[in-house]
Every structure is written in C-alpha cells, then in structure tokens.
Amino acid sequence: MPFLSHVKKVFSSSRKRDGAQIQQGPAQTSANGQPAQSPASNPAAPSNSALDQPPVVDNEAPAAPGIQLFKLGNLWEEAYGQIETKSPKLIDAYKQSLLQTNETSPDLQSLINDKLAEIQNARTKITVAGREIVVRDKVQRTINSILSAGGLIGGVISAEPHAALAWAGLLVLLTPISKTISQGDDAVDGFEEISSILIRYRVIETTPIDLSATSKIPGTTTSLEELANSIKTQTIKLYAAILEYQIRLAKHLSKSRLLRLAEDVAATDDWHEMFQLITHLDETIQSRWKILDGQVLRKVESEVVAIQEKIALSMNIMSEVRDEAKAIRQEQLLNSLEVARGARFDSFDDQHKPCCLEGTQVDTLQQIQAWLESTDSEAMYWLAGMAGTGKSTISRTVASACCHRTPLGNQTAFPENVFLGGVFFFDKNEGDRSTARKLFTTLCKCLTEHLPGIKSDVSDYISSHPNIGNESISSQWKNLILDPLQKFDKKNLVSFTLVLVIDALDECESEDDIGIMLQLFSQVHILSTISLRFFVTSRPEATIQSSFDSVVDVAVLRKELQKVALSIGTGNSVDDITRFLLHGIEQIAQRHSLTMGWPGKENVQKLSFKSDGLFIYAATACRFLGESRITRNQRDARLKSILEGKVNEKSPQGNLDKMYMQILETSVTGDAIDEEREQLCELFRNIVGALINLVEPLSMDHLANLLSLEFSDVSEILERLYSVLSFGENRTSPVTLVHLSFRDFLLDEHRCLESGFLIRQKEAHTILLHQCLAALSDTLKENICLLPKPSSRATDVDLQVLEKNISRHVQYASLHWVVHLRGASINPVDGSEVHEFLEIHILHWLESLSLMQKMSDGVSQVLLLAEYIEALPAEGRGELRSLISDIKRFLLSFRIMVEETPLQIYTAAIAYSPKTSSVRKLFESRMLASIGRPPVAKKHWDSWQHSLSESQSSSISFSPDGKMVASDTARVWDTKTGTLLNTFDNSSYGKFVKFSHDGKMIICLSTDGIFRTWNVYTGVKEKEIRIKKPEPSGKTLSVTSVLLSHDQSLGVVGTFSGEVYVCDLENGDAITRIHQNSGNSSGKVTLIALSNDKTMVAFSKKDGSLIIRDTRSGAICEGFHGTFQARRLRPVGNFLFK
C-alpha cells in the first residue's frame, strides 16, 4: 500500500482498538499568538521542490508564560547507549561497514546525501541474472517515501547526528533489499515498515504538546508528565530496536552476498523476532500518544499529506523527463543502425515507383490476401517470375496494403490482424541493396517503427554491441529481430501477423547468403502469438529454387508469375497489359493536350501485342512516348518506330531489346551525322557505362564531378533517357534505372547489337578507377576537416562540415575504388598509379574513412586489395605487395584508435609502428616533427594478427579454409578482420570445439559432458547429446580429455573420475561407457588416441596406466601399467606412438 495509506491504517487501527473518537484539540499558535501555518498552507513559503525543503515547521520559539510544552526531542543518542551497553563496539563496526559501501563518502552525512542522489536518479528496473525485472511494489513504495522525505532527512541529520546511522542503514539496505527474489519476503515487509516509522517519528519529534491544561489523566492516578516520560522511554527502546534490526538484517543479507559486512559485526541474523518487537513498541507508543494528545496524530497525518502532495508533482515530472530521455536514447541507438537507402517501399528515392494499377494482377493479389488471412498458411510466399512481369510492383502493392490497410485485388476489406513488419528491395545496381549486409538492420529499423514494443530490447543490444552491423547476418537476425520478437511474444496475449516483404531476392550477389537467409526465416516457427510471414519475389533461378527446397522447419507456398495472356482478338475482355497501356496513354494525352482518342485503339492493341505480356515493355513504351521535352510530331514518330519494329521470335525478351534499341537510337543519336554520332556514343558509353557500374547510385552533379565532365554534358545524355532512368525530385537525387533489364541489355553483346551503345564492363570499371584515384589525389589532405586538436573525435564532425570538405563523389571514391580496381582486372605493378596513390595518400585515405565513420568498410577494402594483389604474380610488384601487406597490419593494429580519433593516425599510430614498417618509413619524418621524441619502437610486427576478447576459452578450432576461428564458448570470429561473426546459446563452460570438415558446423563439448552442434551460418542448434545424466546428488560429468574421429562420426570422452565414453555423433543416441575405475587402475584420463578404422581407442591415465579397448564392446585389447608418460598419443597403422 502507499505510504500515506499505511500511516492512515496505523492511525485508524489504533483508534479502533481504543474505541473512542479523538476530540479536536485547541488550535496551535505561534509565538506571536497567530495561528501556526505548515509550509504546505503558507502562501509565502518557498516554491522549491519537497526534495529541497524540509517539510516540517520550526517549533523552537519559546513558550508563552504559564505554558508547559513537551517534545520528544532527539533520543537517538540514548538509543546508541543502550546498544553499546549490550554489545560494545557493535555500533562503530556497523558504521564502518556502511561507509565501505561507498568509498567516496568520508562520513555518514555524506553517505546519506550520496545515496539520496542515487535513489533519485535510479531506474525502477533492475537486472538479475541477465533478466530484467521491475523493482517490486513494496520496495517502490519505500523509494517513493524516501524521495518524499528527502528534505526532512537532511534536517534530521543536521539537528541530530546520531540519527544518521539509522537513515544511512535504511538507504544502504535499499539496494540489496530490491534484489531479493521472493515478493513475499519478510525482509521487504519489515523494510517498508521501518521506513514509514522513521519518517513518522521524525515529524512527531518536532511537534510540541501543551501539558499545562491538567496534571492528571482523567480516570487514572497517572500524571501527564509520567505518561510523557514513558513515551520517551518506549521511543528510545524503539530506536534501539530499529538499529539492531538493521544490523541483523544486514547480517542476513550478507549471507546471500547481497551486502558485504565487516568481519567484526558480530550480530545474529535473527531479525524476524526483532521486527515483532518493533511493531509492538510502535503500537504501544501510538496508543499512549493518543491518550496524551490525539491532535498530535492528526498533525502528523497533515504533515505527511503535505509531503506526499509535493512529491507527487515532482515524481510525475521526473518520470516524464526520464521516459523522454529513455526514448531519445533509444532513438539515437536505433538511428545508429546502418540501413540501406531506398530499400523501403516508402523511401524518398522510390516514392514515384507505382503500385499495381487498379484492375490488374487481380488473381495474384487475391491469392496473396487469402494467404495473409489464413491462420495456418505457409510462413513463406515465393512469387517467381521472369524479368518484367511486374514482381516489384506487386511487392510495393502488398507492402502498401499492409501499411495502409487497403484490400488486395477485388477484396472488400483487409484482414484486421495483419500488419506490415518491414520491406527490403534488393537491387544489383545499388551497393547497399546488392548484398544482405544491411538487410536485417534495415528490417529491424522498420520493425521497431511498426512494433514499438521491441524498441527497448533492440536498443539495449545495440548499446552493448555497437559493431552489430559488421556481425554475420545470422547474428544480426537473431539479436535484432528474432530475439526481440520472441521476448515480446512471451509477454503478448493477442495474436497478429507481421509481414516482411523481400523483393528481387535474385539480385542479392551472394548465393550463400540467399541460402542462409531462407534458413534463418524458417526459425519463425518458435513464435506463438506473432505470425511472422515472408513475401519473397525473385526470378525463377535454379540456385534460389534449391535454397527454398532446403527449408524444412516451415512451409513455402510457391507461385509462378506468368507473362500476361493477351486478349487481343478474343472478344471484349481487356487484359492487364492493354488496361495498363490505355491508362498510361490517357494520362499522356491529358498531360500534353493531345487529340482525344490519340493514338487510336488499333495502335494501342499493336503496342499490347508487341509487349509480349511483359509489363516492363508497356511501362517503358509509355515513358518513351510521354517524355515532356518532345513535340507532337516527335511523339508520333516515336510511336511509329515502336510499331514498325520487327518481332524477334528467338529471344523471350526480343521485343523489349528492340524497344531499348529504338529508345537509344531515337533519344541519344537521333538525326546526328556520323561524326556527331560517334562523339555522342562515346559520351554515352562513358556516362551510362559508369552509371550502370557504380556500386551505389550518384546524382547527376556528383556523377559529373566524379567523371570530371561538365554537368551540362552529363545532364544532356541522361535526360534523353527519361524512359529508362529515374531522376528523383531534383539534381541532388540519385539517378537509378527504371528496370534492371536495361543494364542487362547494355552489357550483353548478343542483345545490344549496336556497338556504339554496347557497354564493356571492364572498360567502364577502368574509367571509374582512374577517376576515383584522381578525385582522391586532388582532394585528400591531412586534417581535411580542420579538427581543432589531435584528440578530436570523428563523431564530433558535423555532417555539413564533412560534406563541405569531402564531397559526395570523393566519399564514393574513398569507399569503392578498390571494387573498380578488381572490376577492371588491372594488374598494378611497382610505380603504377595505385602504388603512387598509396605511398602519398594512404594516411589521408584512412583519415577520410574515419571521418565518414566508415572504417569497417575501409578494413574490408584493404583486405580485398591485399587479397587481389597477393593473387597476382610477384614479379614486378614486390614493393607494392610489401606496402599493401604492411598497410593491412597497420590498419588492423590501430583501427580502434584511428576510428575514434582520426588525426592520431599521423602521430601515435606511426610512433608505435615497428621500425621496419613500410608505412612508418613513408611518414616518420612528419611524425617526428609533431611529437619530437617518439617512444621506443620494436623492430617488427608481432606475429599475432588479432587479439580476440575471450577470457574463458580452453580450446579453439579453425575452419578448414582458415577464414573462421571458433572457441569452446561457442563463438565464431572472422580471422581476417577479427570481427565476431556469431555467438551461439551455450549455458555451460566449454572444454572442446571442432569445425566440421565442410566448415558449416561447429561441435562443442561442455565440461559437464554435453555435445552440442550448431550451424555456423544460421546459428541453429542441430544436435544436443548428453553423455551421462546428472546423478541424484546433482553432480555432473567432469570432462578432462576429448577426441573426434577423422570423419567426426565418433567422439571419445575421458573424465576426471577415470571413465571413458564413446559417442555416436551421427545418430546421437548410441553412447557406450567402455571403461570405468577399478581397484587396479584409477585417476583421471589424460590422453586419448583412436585407431584409423575407429575400432580401438587408447587412453592414458594420471596414474601412469595405458589401456587399449574395443570401441564397440569395450573389451580390453592391450594394457600397460607403470610409469607411462607422454604429451601426445598418435596412431599410425597398427602402432601407437607417443
């Protein structure tokens, strides 16, 4: 119950016990005869918070002549004396124990002030054993009471220092009390009662009583003075009991390690009995106060009401401020997630891309809505179709319907319990959307917007794992999506469906990632109230089909999106393509004031026929005809050129290719003479060749800057291609392709038959590489953003300052020049453009990546560069290879420092590099000019590449390809970058870990004898095999040695007690104990060897014995007893070597 209610309950109970109504006493008066006012009723009282002002009146004014006033006064010193007489030195020992809880507090008064500040700023949620729980009701009420009496406490310890011990004990005990597990714990009940008593009696202490009215208590021979003295005596006993109770309670809590007491606090922990004494004393004192003066109790109640009213407002304001601060922090953490620009259906860049025209794709959309409405539908809906059939448009339509709750197809209503979870549009032509690297960070951001209930768990994980964007996709999926949803699911009572839309899965570059992704999606079966559905589109490629076939935990609904069946010549029905063309042409006619009915029904039917059932053909034709910059005659000419084009029967996209060629010939070259045509085609190849090979899209002006071309030239070429390109709202918007098929057409010499328009990819990458290096060389320099000091942080750089000094095209060059080097297939040698750039600008380049907060991308670029150069022949590039190898070590060694403080790369990073470092030799003179005398440097780099944070590991294993390393604590790292890729759920300490031969699984054995097998990529636990059940006593197996057979089908385990087990790891149910202790042989198993045919196992023991047994029967084959000592056992044929 609230503190005030608790006080009222005490008062009312005492009244009921006496069965009498308390009479209203005379009003209290001040020294000048005026009615006394409490601070709550005094309009002139200061308006400060109750936390700052003592809420009690000052009653120290002298009494009027003839008035005899009685006050309890300060009785804590006498209570001290009672305890000291009973247990010498106990008080001092307890005091020192309290002070030890806060090393910064020199005395009790400081300790009380510090603890009050802690309570005021404390969260009302605490973490116990990794689980977040709410501070329990009774403890929360105590916290509120303490906060409400903050000013009162300050007055107490100033007026009566001896009271400080009790208040300090109360505040120190609050933390361990709040961590007790049982809601009904008597310690919590008593703790709440003690806090109430301390506050109530402080108010009573300062309240005077007039004893002059009568000398005797009516009906008794007891004088008022005798009654008052008995109240004092009982109050001293109460105070002493409270102190002793706190000491005993502290002793009790110290046993559970919730509080640490000094060794000389020699008190019993029988605090239950002491609490009963406190309750009895309080009731006795309350009944005597009522006899003495019932008005005192009403005054106490009035004072407490004033305190509570003041604190209520403060607490509400404080709660609002804390909630707002928490929300801001959550948003900051969520905004730190790297998301893929343009991947959402409602993104700024894609806002003009259409949904399905009303009346089109009706059957498909109705099937999708039926899938969404069904409670037992498949978890995945895979819509497969060839390029141009409208898959992405359907994806946008489904996403929009889920978001805006509009029905699909001809349905009248959208299901009430279906909501959009997130959307990701893959795009091979855009860097962030061509891989799965930002898939789950983007989906997570969407999910937190649509389901705010998971924000707290997601932001907490980001806070403790700020590098989550560089972890494996399985780790991102688990920690950013599945785990938060699972936590929400456990607390949720309402069933609903969340839809995740994944479009153009085939445009994800990594086939391996596609397979992993679909396996991860299948884990949603663990959710109960949340139905997580995946709507996925792609081309019908064999690798994707194989990946879907591998999904086993959930069902997949596959639908083939066919080309539209044309209705030309089949009656009055209108097919979807014709309906689309009619709508598009009508809009063109209205926008450009064309003749009603243009271009005629027959021409529309011809266009529909030439589309061959592909929406992309119809959409491109409408964009080609609807371009604003052409005249009516030019529009008619364009229509004629489309209609007169011959159908290519050999190619399924022949008509589309013909359309693209007509667009290029009409829009780019037009009526140009041969010489002009050649120049236009060259300009086209340079500009469009760069555009379709960019890792991420750029705006027209940034593209012009990167290519060192006039903006007018770039805009002239690109604006002619309005029908196949998307420009956004303004010149700062990225230029993108309307459809990927245009890129495919330009790069394929069998489809783009005009050599003037054919883009040769290596040539385009070569141009981009040269332009990137030129942009970087012309722009980059030391301290490019003019940071004020070497210790300035990259996060302090304002975005506007960054873009002013490192423009968008230079940022692009910093991030992607290595990609274009590899794409160009150039083989740099010593003294080449690449070599010279690195020798001059390597530090400038790394500084720019730090300022852009893209150092993780920089590490990837350096590793790609090193891998590429190392694969080339060594001849002629020895210096280049040596430099790049040193750059890799330099970056991996100083990455954290440079990532945070970029200018340290010129001083500290160079100063602490070894003397033989190529990077140090290049920039040492600059470093010496800055810091004078550098520290003594070692000669060579250390042999270690990375220092991985793993304190409890006793075993590690490298993957067969050497790209990963795993520890027996079930963690996996990337050996090149040192990045933690995955952490698997493992509740036990590890003893052994091994990668499977294909590198897809890790096998861990814990010290308590449990084999666990995880999929490295998906994080799914495949098997769990317990060697031996725990004994009734709770004792488990203690593993000392372990060995796997070469094919990893058998595991042999030796224990501390001398037992040996053989486990069938393939089936998981065949476990044989082939050896146990006997009188002749004892001691733990130290070494194990397995014969090549897996029929025999040899093991040595600490007592020096060596035993060979049959793995199937356990029969002894050979035995050796004596002083056998070896570091290793190794079978070779029928022999055993040590």
Residue with tokens 């919730």: 258
CATH code, domain with 493 = 3.40.50.300
* pLDDT, average across residues 414-434: 89
Phi, psi angles (nearest 5°) of residue 210: -85, 115
| Residue 489 lies in domain | 362-560
Q: Is the pLDDT of residue 927 over 90?
A: no
Indicate whether 534 and 596 sit together in one domain: no
Statement to judge: residues 536 and 400 lie in one domain: yes
The answer to whether residue 293 sits within a structural domain is yes
Percent of the chain with pLDDT over 70: 72
pLDDT in tens, 15-67: 333 333 333 333 343 333 333 333 333 333 333 333 333 333 334 445 455 44
Same domain, 155 and 304: yes
Q: Which of 677-691, 970-984, 1026-1040 has the lowest mean pLDDT?
A: 1026-1040
Question: Is residue 552 located within the same domain as residue 592?
Answer: no
pLDDT value for 920: 93
Q: Is residue 592 part of a domain?
A: yes
Pair of tokens at residue 748: 């394929």
Token couple for 179: 């961590």
CB 537 within 8 A of CB 499: no
Point out the least confidently predicted range of 109-123, 627-641, 983-997: 109-123
Tell me if 456 is assigned to some domain: yes
**Co-location of 538 and 621 in the same domain:** no
Residue 325, domain member (yes or no) = no
C-alpha–C-alpha distance, residues 330 and 842, integer Å: 37
- CA-based angle 1127:1131:1133, to the nearest 5? 155
pLDDT (tens digit, 9 = 90+) per residue, 571-600? 567 899 999 999 999 999 888 888 888 888
- Pair 520, 543 in one domain: yes
Instruction: Please state, in angstroms and rounded to a whole number, the distance separating the CA atoms of residues 359 and 409.
Output: 7
Domains contained in the chain, number: 4
**pLDDT score of 397 more than 80:** yes
Q: Which of 884, 915, 931 is the last residue of a domain?
A: 931
Average pLDDT over residues 71-77: 72
Closest among 156, 157, 191 to 173, alpha carbons compared:
191
Higher pLDDT, 604 or 159: 604
Enumerate residues 6+ apart whose C-beta is below 8 A from 416. Answer: none
Asked if residue 1130 is part of any domain, the answer here is no
On the question of pLDDT at 710 being above 90, the answer is yes
Query: Which of residues 316, 348, 379 is at a domain's end?
Result: 316
Is 1017's pLDDT higher than 50?
yes
Which has more confidence, 733 or 12?
Answer: 733
Residues 239/242/244/248 CA torsion (nearest 10 deg): 180
Per-residue pLDDT at 503 = 95
CA distances (Å), origin 191, targets 123, 142, 960, 1066: 19, 8, 60, 57
From the centroid of its chain, how far is CA 153?
A: 42
The rounded distance, in Å, linking the Cα atoms of 1060 and 1065 is 15
Query: Quick one: 383 and 309 in the same domain?
Result: no
CB atoms within 10 A of CB 506: 19
Tell me: do 550 and 591 sit in the same domain: no
> What band does 378 get if pLDDT is binned at 50, 70 and 90?
very high
**952-986 pLDDT per residue, tens:** 667 888 998 988 999 888 888 888 777 778 888 76
Q: What is the mean pLDDT of residues 606-628?
A: 88
Q: Tell me the Cα Rg of the chain.
A: 40
Judgement on whether residues 546 and 599 belong to the same structural domain of the protein: no
More confident residue, 1051 or 1121: 1051
Say if residue 127's pLDDT is above 60.
Answer: no
- Tell me what pLDDT residue 580 has: 92
Assess whether 514 and 584 both reside in one domain: no
Least Cα distance to 92 among 258, 243, 194, 277 occurs for 243
Q: Are residues 179 and 76 in the same domain?
A: yes
Per-residue pLDDT, averaged over 260-269, amounts to 48
pLDDT above 70 (res 253): no
Rounded mean pLDDT of 425-451?
Answer: 90
Decide: helix, strand or coil at residue 736: strand
Domain boundary among 899, 914, 931: 931
Give the whole-angstrom CA distance, residue 856 versus residue 844: 16
pLDDT band with cut points at 50, 70 and 90 for residue 877? very high
Residue 868's pLDDT is 95
Q: How far apart are CA 783 and CA 767, in angstroms?
A: 29
The answer to whether residue 487 scores a pLDDT higher than 70 is: yes
Both structure tokens of 1054:
């030796």
> Residue 17: its pLDDT value, please?
36
Give percent above pLDDT 90 in the chain: 30
Counting beta carbons within 10 angstroms of the beta carbon of residue 1047, is it exposed (0 to 12), middle (13 to 18) or buried (19 or more)? exposed
User: Residue 1051 and residue 1071: Cα distance in Å, rounded?
Assistant: 9
Q: What secondary structure does DSSP assign to 42-73, as a single string?
A: -TTS----TTTS--S----SPPPTT--EE---
Phi and psi for 662 in degrees, rounded to 5?
-65, -40
Q: How confident is the model at residue 136 (pLDDT cuts 50, 70, 90)?
A: very low
Q: What is the mean pLDDT of residues 982-1007?
A: 79
Q: How much is the mean pLDDT over the chain?
A: 78
- Please give the Cα distance from 140 to 1006 (Å, whole number): 41
Any residues with CB less than 8 A from the CB of 899 and at least 6 apart, and which?
794, 850, 853, 855
Mean pLDDT over 503-513 rounds to 92
On whether residue 1056 sits in a domain, the answer given is no
Residue 1039 has φ and ψ, to the nearest 5°, of -80, 135
Angle in degrees, CA 818, 820, 826, rounded to 5: 90
C-beta separation of 8 from 146 below 8 A: no
Q: What is the pLDDT of residues 139-165, one digit of tens each?
A: 555 555 555 555 556 555 555 666 777
CA–CA dist 250, 724 (Å, integer):
77
Q: Per the domain annotation, does 581 fall within a domain?
A: yes
Which two structure tokens, joined as six digits, stand for 1070? 């065949």
Question: HSE of 183 in the Cβ direction (CA atoms, 13 Å)?
Answer: 6
Residue 206 has pLDDT above 60, yes or no: yes
β-pairing verdict for 530-538 and 496-503: parallel
975 domain residue, yes or no: no
Question: 534 and 613, same structural domain?
Answer: no
pLDDT at residue 79, as a whole number: 82
Instruction: Look at residue 899 and tell me whether its pLDDT is greater than 70.
Output: yes
